[in-house]
Amino acid sequence: MASTSITIDCDECSLQHTSACEGCLVTFLLEHEPGDAVVIDAAEARAVRMLERAGLVPNLRFDARAV
């Protein structure tokens, strides 16, 4: 069974350098350095969505830039 993952890379986000960064799940979880990507698998993505729905973490605001 192939694993599905999501790569969240600030350099690929259309909302980079906007106020959305302040409420971004990646920023909230990792307080990452600019340019650090986060990779989560499908199970982790489901868990994050459950935490979002429960109001325990901010929503993921990643929006991939058009290439």
- 5-39 pLDDT tens trace: 667 777 888 888 888 877 777 766 666 566 667 77
Question: What pLDDT shows up at residue 15?
Answer: 84
Would the pLDDT of 51 be above 80? yes
> What CA–CA distance (Å, rounded) separates 29 from 65?
22
Number of separate helices (H) and strands (E) present in the chain: 2, 2
Would the pLDDT of 50 be above 80? yes
Residue 24 burial by Cβ neighbours in a 10 Å radius (0-12, 13-18, 19+): buried
